[in-house]
Structure formats: C-alpha cells, structure tokens
Structure 1
Amino acid sequence: MPESAWKFLFYLGSWSYSAYLLFGTDYPFFHDPPSVFYDWTPGMAVPRDIAAAYLLQGSFYGHSIYATLYMDAWRKDSVVMLIHHVVTLVLIVSSYAFRYHNVGILVLFLHDISDVQLEFTKLNVYFKSRGGSHHRLHALAADLGCLSFSLSWFWFRLYWFPLKVLYATCHSSLRSVPDIPFYFFFNALLLLLTLMNLYWFLYIVAFAAKVLTGQVRELKDVREYDAAEAQSPKPSKAEKPLRNGLVKDKRF
C-alpha cells in the first residue's frame, strides 16, 4: 500500500502538470503534433516550465531504478519494469540534451494517466478488505478504476502514442529538419517503449479473459507472485527490506 500511495501521488501531480502545459498554455503540441519540431535548432533554449517537468520526471525515474531493485515488491514483470525505467531515464536525459523536449512532454502526458489509474485501483483493492469487513465503496471504486485503466491504456499508449508521438518523430521530424541528429537512436527507444506497452497490455488482456471465463471473481494484480508459487528470483539478503524500505519487525 505505501508503494502504491507514493506512486499515485507522484503520477497524479506529474500528469496534472503535463496536462497544464499542453492545455493551459500556448503550446500546441497535443492538437498539432508536428509542431514539436517547428523552428527546431540544435542547442535551442528549453523553456523553464518544460525544464521543471524534466527535472521532476528525471529524478523520479532515477529513484525508480533503485526502488525496483531494493524497495518495491518483486513481481513477474519487474525485470521488464527495470528495463522500462532505464529506457525512460535515457529518453528523458537524451531528449533534453538533443532538444527534443517538446515531444518529451507529449510522451509523459500520454503515459502518466494510465499509472494514475493503476495505482488508484490498487489502493482501493487494498482498502476494500480491512478491519475484518468488506467495504463496498472501495470495491466499486476498484472495479471502475480497473475498467478505466484498461481503456486508457489502449487509448493513450497504443492509439494516441503512435498516432501523435511516433508520427511526429518518425515522419514529421524529417519534413521539418531533414538532417535532424540522433533520429534513429531516439526513435529506436520510442519503439522499444511501444513494445513494452504492448507487453503490459497482454497482462490486461489476460486478466480480462480470466474475469470473463470466471477464473477470477475479484480484482488482484496478476503480476504479483502467489504464496504457493516459486520464491521470487530477486536477490535476497539476511535483512531484506520490504516495500518502500520498511524493515520487517521480527515480532510479527
């Protein structure tokens, strides 16, 4: 629960700020994706509001690499999650250095919304059974959150992301700047990110199939290891920290 609470608050704040940049300012990037490369020049100045978003996101994903290894619960997709954090951090640093910051804001906006809904859903799953009783309000919120998360993942990451981001970086960039540097490097990372989005979408489809066939009657994270399954492949130590660094009390 502490892990999901922290991530929910971060993603909600970061996505809200990205939404503000795209819809509360004069930046036309969402409605006109090719505009991310209008007047592009090497070494161009990065606006302070966009630089602030980059500082926030870069520090978070730098921490997330450490957190995935040593603090968060180890899951079936943790290796892919670790690769995702490394790729994301490289994208953040390189896009800032190459002055692809305009498209970077669009990428962050399209991805963070799904994480907000994922962590919101998980929090309500944890809250619905507590104190020896079942809380219907949290159960309903978890069900609605799961539905919203599944739809937003497809719409934002698998539909809008290729339509807006990949179209702009793969096609529009060459029309605006025919000899734009680091073209293949940057697009290779974005395509790798797309493949990881497809990989996680398979988890969503697998969970939906189990619900429809009656194999699962209540929400749970299908990435979690069950108690009866093999032990986590994560390296262990004599005094292993639990989620978010909380040390286990041997009295319990």
Structure 2
Amino acid sequence: MDGSDAGSAGSAGPAEVEPMPGYLQLMSRGSGVLLAAWRDCSSCGLQRSRTTFLDHAYFTWTEMALFVFCAFLWTMVRRGLTQSLFKPLAQWCKLLPKDAAKMPESSWKLVFYTMSWSYSTYLLFFTSYPFFHDPPSVFYNWKSGMTVPTDIALAYLIQGSFYGHSIYATINMDAWRKDSAVMVVHHIITLALIGFSYAFRYHNVGILVLFLHDINDILLEFTKLNVYLKSRGGGYHLLNDVLSNMGSVSFSISWFWFRLYWFPLKVLYATCVSSLQSVPNIPFYFFFNTLLFALLLMNIYWFLFIVIFVVKVLKVKEVNDVREYEDEDGSRAAAELLGNSRAPKHDDDAGHHNAAHGKHVQNGVTKEKHL
C-alpha cells in the first residue's frame, strides 16, 4: 500500500516559519497523522499505486541516459584518480602497506563528499531557498510535474549518479567491511529516494536530506586519512594523530546532531505531518516515509558502531575503523601491489595465495577486486 489517497485538511502553508518540533512532538503527532492517514486511505493498493505512479511520476529518457552516463563517468574518474594520484601519493608518503591499500578509497570519498556537501550548503544557505530554516516549506506550492530548478536538478544528477556508482563500487572496488551488506542496502534506498523524489517533484526535501548526511562522510574519511598518515615513513607524526582524534570527536558529535537530531525533527516531521497540511492528497505518502524511516534505522545502526568506536578509543587510545575485518593477508597483498620489500612473510597456503594475487575474501568467498 502506498497511501496515494492519504490526506487531511490543510492549506498551502503558513505565512510564518514553524518552530522545529521536539522528539516527543514528532512521535506523538507523527504517529497520530500516520494512523489517521492509514484509516482514510480506503483505496490504497497495487492498482492505485500504479495509477498514481503513471499520473505523477515525471522522468524522461534523456534524464535516465544522463544518470547512466554519469554513474559510469564517476567510476572512470575514480579509476583515473586512483592510478594517477592516490596510489602514487600513498607511495610518496611511505604509508604502511595496509594503510596504503585503503588510502585511495578514503581519498576519493573525501574529494566527492566535500564537493557535494559544499554544493548543497550553497543551495540551502547562499540562495533564496528557505528549506533548512523552514522545513515545512519544502511542500509549499507543490504541484505534480512542476519544473525542477536547474541548480537543484544538477545536485540530483550528481548525487543520484554517484550512488548508482557506489552500489557497484561497494561490491567490486571498496574494502569489504562488517557493514558492507548494510551499505549496499543503504545505497539502494538512497538511490530510490533520490530517483523517486525527483520523479514526484519532492526535490526540495531531497536537498535537505543530502545536506544532513554528507557532512558525516567528510569527517569520517578525513579522520581515516589522518590515521593512515600518522605512521607514514616508519615514524610517528603528532599532527596527524591530533587531527585524527579531533576528526573522530567531530564525526561522533555531527552524526548524532545531523542524522539523529536534525534529520528526524526537520525532515521526518515535514514528510509525515507538514506534507499532508500542504498537499492533502500527496502521492506515495507511505512509500517515501517508509524509505526515510528505514534510512533513520540505518543511521541508528551505524551509531552503535560509533559508540563502540568511542569506547575503543577511550580504552586503547587508538583510532581505527571498527567495521574493518582483521586481515593480515590484505596487508601482504597491498605491500606486494606497492612493491614494498617490507611486506610481512607468511606460509604460502591457499588463503595467502589468494591475497597475494589481488583477491579479497568477502563473507568466505574469494573475490576479485576491480577498479
């Protein structure tokens, strides 16, 4: 059921900015509105969903072709930067083999997320869009098939194509971690939200969602890069150690503030409550809110990793990604790939043979890694 007929009485939007609700107001009023919308949705079902999709989804073949092309382009750009910049930089810095193997991935993500978050910050704070300070305004004057402003359409193309690339990259390019399967699900849900929110012209709230999530990825990759750099050249570098600790603290705080405080109180309240006030029969009400709540649950899931991470730092005074598998074979493979003669020596059994030939074990399955 999609809640295509979900609705309640309302107007195009209040004249003044609504104050941001609290958690209690979100849970009480949000649940009440959801239950009322569910009871009122007498004709919800697959047939109604199909009709609503055909009536309200606007997506051209040109836009789909641009998405595919840009997703492929991100993969090629990443490959080029990895081979021409990130790997040579890792060699020049004389990183430890295990760190040199992971540095290109973090460098690439830091470059992209810094760019994408800077652009969404520009849209929300340096233009006339009021979405951050007045989240209910994302649905004011909404019309089916309305024109998407060019600056927002560009943000959607950048982000949508990147997450299309990221589904492939998580499986075939990135190091496999304990949460990689969840990460693939996250990318699929994010891509669905980006694609359908664009098609249904919910692009205003989409920009707000992207802004609230990308900042954490910047801080995460910044922290990891400084962890790799603090032991470069066989020595200890205090500045990078201090920066990694500052980054880990900032990452933990920003995750809670952006994803567990602002995201539910600004975005979910707007999509659950304010949307029906502005557009009583808003299409696919339940579908989009289900995806957004799934995104919130994954944010909570990853916050548990952060708690473990903080406890680990307090106990052992060491910053490491707790999602990583303990894998010495990966170090040996990376060392041989970089031509490092200091690679640790192991017996040449089957598992080490796979690592030495650039293969990676994912959930017990030997898998080739590609760029």
Q: TM-score, normalised by structure 1?
A: 0.92
**Aligned-pair CA distance for 1:155:** 0.1
**Aligned-pair CA distance for 1:122:** 0.5
Equivalent position of 1:249 in the other structure: none
How far apart, in 1, do the equivalents of 2:268 and 2:293 lie? Answer: 8
Equivalent position of 1:147 in the other structure: 249
Aligned CA RMSD, in angstroms, stands at: 1.5
- Structure 1: where are the runs of 5+ without partners? 246-252
- Structure 2: where are the runs of 5+ without partners? 1-102, 330-350, 352-360
Equivalent position of 1:136 in the other structure: 238
Could you say what secondary structure the match of 1:236 adopts?
strand
Alignment of 1:233 onto 2:363:
yes
- Larger radius of gyration, structure 1 or 2? 2
Alignment of 1:37 onto 2:37:
no
How far apart, in 2, do the equivalents of 1:71 and 1:101 lie? Answer: 30
Q: Could you tell me whether the CA contact under 8 Å between 1:121 and 1:143 is conserved in 2? A: yes
Could you say what secondary structure the match of 1:20 adopts?
helix
User: 1:190-247 deviations in whole A, cap 9, x for unaligned?
Assistant: 00000000000000011112233x2x3211100000127995316424xx226xx2xx
How far apart, in 1, do the equivalents of 2:166 and 2:364 lie? Answer: 16
1:154-165 matched pairs, under 5 angstroms: 154-165=256-267
Alignment partner of 1:92 out of 194, 199, 204:
194
How far apart, in 2, do the equivalents of 1:124 and 1:234 lie? Answer: 30
How far apart, in 1, do the equivalents of 2:369 and 2:182 lie? Answer: 21
1:1-252 matched pairs, under 5 angstroms: 1-212=103-314, 214=315, 216-227=316-327, 232-233=362-363, 235-237=365-367, 240-241=368-369, 245=371
Equivalent position of 2:79 in the other structure: none
User: 1:140-188 deviations in whole A, cap 9, x for unaligned?
Assistant: 1000000000000000000000110001000000000010001000000
How far apart, in 1, do the equivalents of 2:303 and 2:181 lie? Answer: 16
How far apart, in 2, do the equivalents of 1:89 and 1:234 lie? Answer: 28
Could you say what secondary structure the match of 1:131 adopts?
helix
Give me the identity figure in percent.
69
Provide the aligned length of Structure 1 versus Structure 2. Answer: 239
Q: Could you tell me whether the CA contact under 8 Å between 2:312 and 2:318 is conserved in 1? A: no
Q: Could you tell me whether the CA contact under 8 Å between 1:12 and 1:116 is conserved in 2? A: yes
Instruction: Name the CA shift for 1:23/1:16 in 2 (closer, same or farther; >3 Å).
Output: same
Structure 2 residue identity aligned to 1:241: K
How far apart, in 1, do the equivalents of 2:111 and 2:297 lie? Answer: 27
Could you say what secondary structure the match of 2:188 adopts?
helix
Q: Could you tell me whether the CA contact under 8 Å between 1:110 and 1:156 is conserved in 2? A: yes
Q: Could you tell me whether the CA contact under 8 Å between 1:225 and 1:232 is conserved in 2? A: no
Could you say what secondary structure the match of 1:181 adopts?
coil
How far apart, in 1, do the equivalents of 2:362 and 2:171 lie? Answer: 12
Instruction: Name the CA shift for 1:234/1:160 in 2 (closer, same or farther; >3 Å).
Output: farther
Structure 2 residue identity aligned to 1:37: F
How far apart, in 2, do the equivalents of 1:134 and 1:146 lie? Answer: 19
Q: TM-score, normalised by structure 2?
A: 0.63
Q: Could you tell me whether the CA contact under 8 Å between 1:65 and 1:85 is conserved in 2? A: yes
